[in-house]
Structure formats: structure tokens, C-alpha cells
């Protein structure tokens, strides 16, 4: 349906690039097209840190301490980090380290750096620019749904098998900066029922009637860029969590450009669905998805937190390596880029260590 709508409106589309096996590979099983991808792949065909990276790390000699909460990072008088304080099995412990790589993602990474403030670094670690926690970007995730006369059967296969990136690569016909992609959507029945009750207020008989149309539901959903703004940020709240650590406070709003992008996408996806003959079309206007930013990468220590190696400008043996280093977010899913950056950072740390620079 995505392909049909895109072709009718004269834009390109493609199969969605998925890090999922379509055929057996080594000990790994292929995809069986049962559509559980968002709640946990039953065959491990879908790539994830658990399936792909941790076994390799263990094989290479890594030790994993699960269910551990790092509360702060320690440093010495020279300003080099020396290790982390973490809570595990009911007590706080200290792990010495030559290098510390923080990878807690866009909310927990700045929270940890801010919670590690000291006399030497009163603003928190790696924060001489004042940018730790700032420029948080939440991708927009609005959708347009309709009913088709043809059977769709959304529960079959991974949920987003076709994509168009047209609006990431053209400026013609836009009233906003940046871009978005949109993908076909295949929610499982339970997710679809939840959407109907939470987003449309359907309940009881009305919800049952709507669910009867499940096999004919068709949907398109964006991953939309939002612009980096310093006012969108993670700061520390006064409230403490169960570990006695200040919890993060997230302040966020879409700017006018973000809102124009969303409005454009809803108009366009509606036209695309109409072109397929779908009826009863409605907009899901308030969804969001992935986070990025809060410890941005850059060329200059005044306007960024880490350099291109994910090394903090302020503390040479402190690295930040997760979605928080994105300076901008783009209109696509971020995880494969996050993993590519992690691989690159690991290579660079290794090369520096081999050259005796660490
Ligand atoms: C339901 C769902 C579906 C998604 N689908 C997609 C998709 O289809 N495509 C896509 O590209 N992205 C998707 N995402 C987003 C994707 O999961 C994230 O972008 C990605 O995992 C971020 O990677 P990361 O390494 O930066 O952080 P994470 O994967 O969040 O890793 C951070 C880790 O740090 C740990 N941590 C945090 N703080 C501490 C601390 N103080 N002490 C110890 N450990 C700590 C956390 O427990 C976590 O394990 C989805 C997310 C969700 C929730
Ligand atoms: S459809 Fe999704 S959950 Fe099922 S095997 Fe394929 S990748 Fe895994």
C-alpha cells in the first residue's frame, strides 16, 4: 500500500533496510514473519545488542555485571577519571578504570555526568561548554490510518517493511527545514486496540466494532527530524530515586519548524492513503519516538561535548558513546548509526591504546 501510494504521487520508495536475517546464518535462525519484533524477537533473527554484540564481547574476554546502577564517575586531582561508583546486589562498589565509556543514552548519560559534579567540575563532567543535557531531540512519529477493501493482515512480518525517504532528500515543496521518512505500519492486535482506546477514546462496543476491521487497517507513520534547541534539555530534579540519586527532568517542546514538518507529513500521507482507495482516514497526531542528543559531537570544544572519536573535550580518558552524541537527528531510525559510531569509537580507542597514547 505504501508503494502504491508513493507511485501514485510520483515519489520513490524501497524495502526498509532491516538488521534482520532472512536466511539462516551460523547458529542464528531466520525471520519467521510473525511480527513480534517490537516486543522481543522469538527467533533472534532480529539484530540486537543481546544477540549480536554481547556474545562477541564475552568471547573476547569481557565481563558483564548486570543489574548494576552507576551513580557517579570519580576523578583524580589531575582531572582524569579513575572509575565508577555503582550499586549492585544491595551495596555500593567502586570499579577502577583507565578509561570510562558512558553509554546510557540521551537521558541517563547527561544525568550521570551531571550527577558526577565535583569541586573541580562543579557543572558536571565533560561540561565546560555547558551543553551536557542540552539539544535533546525527540523524533516525531505521527501516523495516518485508514481502512482498505483489500486484506492487509498487519500482524504478518516485521511491522515496517516499506519506506520512502523522499522528504529526506528533496527541498522542493517544503515549508520546513530538515526531513522525514515514512514507513508502512503493522501493529499487532493488542497494540492496535490500545491505540484505538488511548488515541480515539474507543471503548466497549465501539472498540469491538473497530477491531473487527483489524485485518483491513492500513497505516503510514513518520520518523521525523526535530531541530536541536538548547531549551530542549535534561536537567536534574530535586526528587531522588530509590538509589538516592537526583532524577532527570526532561523539558521538551516542538518548535514551529518541527510543527510544520509534522503538518506536511500528515497532509502528504493522507493523500498517499487516499490514492490507494483507503477510506475512514484519521490522523494520529501526538506520537513521538527515538531520542538523540544531549552530549553532542562537534569540531570545537565550545560548541560540543565530544570530538569525532566520542572523546570528551575536557577529560581525555572519558568517552561518551550512544545516541546522545548526535548533533542533529535526521528523519530516519537512529540505532544502526548509533552502533556504527560505537564500532568506530572502539576501533579508535584500540588504535590509540596500541600506539601507546592511552
Ligand atoms: C519499543 C522500541 C522500539 C524501537 N524500535 C526502533 C527501531 O525500529 N529502529 C531504531 O533505529 N530504533 C528503535 N528504537 C530506539 C532504540 O532502541 C534506541 O535508539 C537505541 O537503543 C539507543 O541506543 P543507545 O546505545 O544510545 O542506548 P540504550 O540502548 O538505551 O542503552 C543504554 C543502556 O545503558 C543502561 N544504563 C543507563 N544508565 C545507566 C546507569 N546509570 N548505570 C548502569 N547502566 C545504565 C541502560 O540500562 C541501557 O542498557 C526503539 C526503541 C523502543 C523502546
Ligand atoms: S517477524 Fe520480527 S519477531 Fe518474528 S522472527 Fe521476524 S524479526 Fe523476529
pLDDT value at position 358? 83
Q: What are the residues whose beta carbons fall under 8 Å from the beta carbon of 260, sequence distance 6 or more? A: 175, 176
Query: Closest ligand 1 atom, CA of 160?
Result: 8
pLDDT value at position 52? 87
Q: 103, 335, 339, 346: which to mutate for ligand 1, most atoms within 8 A of CB?
A: 335
Question: Rounded to whole angstroms, how far apart are CA atoms 271 and 67?
Answer: 48
In this structure, what are the phi and psi dihedrals at residue 352, rounded to the nearest 5 degrees?
-65, -40
Can you say whether the dihedral through the CA atoms of 17, 22, 24, 30 is positive or negative? positive
First to last CA, the chain: 53
With b meaning 16 or more CB within 10 Å and e meaning fewer, what string describes 267-282?
A: ebbbebbbebebeebe
Read off the pLDDT of residues 196-223 as tens digits, 9 standing for 90 and up.
Answer: 999 999 999 999 999 999 999 999 999 9
pLDDT value at position 217? 96
Closest CA to 219 of 161, 176, 288: 161
Q: Whose CA is nearest to atom 5 of ligand 2?
A: 31
pLDDT value at position 38? 87
Read off the pLDDT of residues 334-356 as tens digits, 9 standing for 90 and up.
Answer: 999 999 999 999 999 999 999 99
* DSSP secondary structure letters along 96-158: E-SSEEE--HHHHHHHHHHHT--SS-TT-TT-TTS-TTBS-EEEE--EEEEE-SS---TTSSS
User: Which ligand has an atom closest to residue 20 CA?
Assistant: 2
Ligand 2 geometric centre to CA of 20 (Å): 8
Pocket of ligand 1 (CB under 6 A): 38, 68-70, 103-105, 108, 112, 290, 322-323, 333-335, 338
Helix (H, G, I), strand (E, B) or coil at 4: helix
Q: E strands, 30-108, where?
A: 69-75, 81-88, 91-96, 100-102
Question: Rounded to whole angstroms, how far apart are CA atoms 94 and 87?
Answer: 9
Cα 212–chain centre separation: 33
Question: Rounded to whole angstroms, how far apart are CA atoms 113 and 110?
Answer: 5
Q: 19, 24, 36, 155: which to mutate for ligand 2, most atoms within 8 A of CB?
A: 36
Ligand 2 geometric centre to CA of 7 (Å): 28
Question: Rounded to whole angstroms, how far apart are CA atoms 262 and 275?
Answer: 20
Measure the CA angle with vertex 268, ends 275 and 33; round to 5°. Answer: 70
186 close to ligand 2 (CB < 6 Angstrom): no
User: Which ligand has an atom closest to residue 51 CA?
Assistant: 2
31 close to ligand 2 (CB < 6 Angstrom): yes
- Residue 50 is classified by DSSP as I
Series of mean pLDDT values for 10-residue runs along the chain (358 residues) = 97 94 86 90 89 92 96 98 98 97 98 98 98 98 97 92 97 96 95 93 95 97 98 98 97 98 98 98 94 98 98 98 97 94 95 92
pLDDT value at position 348? 95
Give domain 1-19+136-238+251-292's CATH number out of 3.40.50, 1.10.10, 2.40.160, 3.30.410.
Answer: 3.30.410
How many other CB atoms are there within 10 angstroms of residue 8's CB atom?
A: 14
How many other CB atoms are there within 10 angstroms of residue 122's CB atom?
A: 8
33 close to ligand 2 (CB < 6 Angstrom): yes
Closest CA to 250 of 111, 70, 127: 111
Contact between 248 and 108 under an 8 Å Cβ cutoff? The reply is yes
Ligand 2 geometric centre to CA of 189 (Å): 16
Contact between 324 and 109 under an 8 Å Cβ cutoff? The reply is yes
User: Which ligand has an atom closest to residue 41 CA?
Assistant: 2
158 close to ligand 2 (CB < 6 Angstrom): yes
With b meaning 16 or more CB within 10 Å and e meaning fewer, what string describes 214-244?
A: bebbbbbbbbbbbbbbeebbbebeeeeeeee
Query: Domain-by-domain residue ranges, the chain?
Result: 1-19+136-238+251-292
In this structure, what are the phi and psi dihedrals at residue 323, rounded to the nearest 5 degrees?
-65, -10
Closest CA to 140 of 44, 263, 46: 263
Amino acid at each position: 500500500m505504501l508503494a502504491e501510494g508513493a507511485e501514485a504521487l510520483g515519489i520513490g520508495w524501497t524495502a526498509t533496510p532491516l538488521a534482520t536475517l532472512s536466511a539462516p546464518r551460523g547458529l542464528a535462525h531466520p525471520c519467521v514473519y510473525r511480527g513480534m519484533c517490537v516486543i522481543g524477537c522469538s527467533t533472534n533473527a532480529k539484530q540486537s545488542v543481546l544477540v549480536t554484540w554481547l556474545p562477541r564481547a564475552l568471547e573476547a574476554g569481557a565481563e558483564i555485571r548486570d543489574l548494576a546502577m552507576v551513580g557517579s564517575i570519580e576523578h583524580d586531582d589531575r582531572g582524569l577519571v579513575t572509575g565508577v561508583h555503582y550499586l549492585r546486589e544491595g551495596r555500593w562498589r567502586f570499579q577502577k578504570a583507565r578509561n570510562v565509556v558512558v553509554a546510557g543514552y540521551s537521558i541517563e548519560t547527561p544525568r550521570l555526568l551531571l550527577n558526577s559534579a565535583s569541586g573541580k567540575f562543579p557543572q558536571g563532567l565533560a561540561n565546560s561548554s555547558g551543553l551536557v543535557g542540552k539539544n535533546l531531540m525527540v523524533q516525531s512519529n505521527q501516523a495516518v490510518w485508514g481502512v482498505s477493501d483489500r486484506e492487509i493482515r498487519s500482524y504478518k512480518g516485521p511491522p515496517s517493511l516499506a519506506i520512502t525517504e523522499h522528504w529526506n532528500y528533496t527541498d522542493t515543496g517544503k515549508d520546513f527545514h530538515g526531513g522525514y521518512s515514512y514507513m508502512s505500519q503493522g501493529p499487532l492486535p493488542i497494540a492496535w486496540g490500545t491505540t484505538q482506546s488511548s488515541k480515539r477514546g474507543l471503548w466497549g462496543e465501539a472498540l469491538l466494532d473497530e477491531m473487527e476491521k483489524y485485518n483491513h487497517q492500513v497505516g503510514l507513520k513518520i520518523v521525523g527530524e526535530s531541530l536541536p534547541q538548547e531549551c530542549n534539555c535534561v536537567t536534574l530534579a530535586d526528587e531522588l530515586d530509590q538509589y538516592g540519586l537526583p532524577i532527570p527532568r526532561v523539558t521538551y517542546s516542538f518548535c514551529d519548524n518541527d510543527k510544520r514538518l509534522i503538518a506536511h507529513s500528515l497532509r502528504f500521507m493522507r493523500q498517499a492513503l487516499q490514492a490507494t482507495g483507503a477510506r475512514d482516514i484519521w490522523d494520529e497526531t501526538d506520537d513521538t519516538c527515538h531520542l538523540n542528543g544531549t552530549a553532542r559531537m562537534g569540531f570545537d570544544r565550545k560548541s560540543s561535548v565530544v570530538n569525532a572519536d566520542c572523546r570528551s573535550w575536557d577529560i581525555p580518558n572519558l568517552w561518551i558513546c550512544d545516541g546522545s552524541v548526535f548533533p542533529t537527528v535526521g528523519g530516519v531510525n537512529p540505532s544502526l548509526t548509533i552502533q556504527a559510531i560505537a564500532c568506530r569509537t572502539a576501533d579508535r580507542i584500540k588504535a590509540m591504546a596500541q600506539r601507546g597514547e592511552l
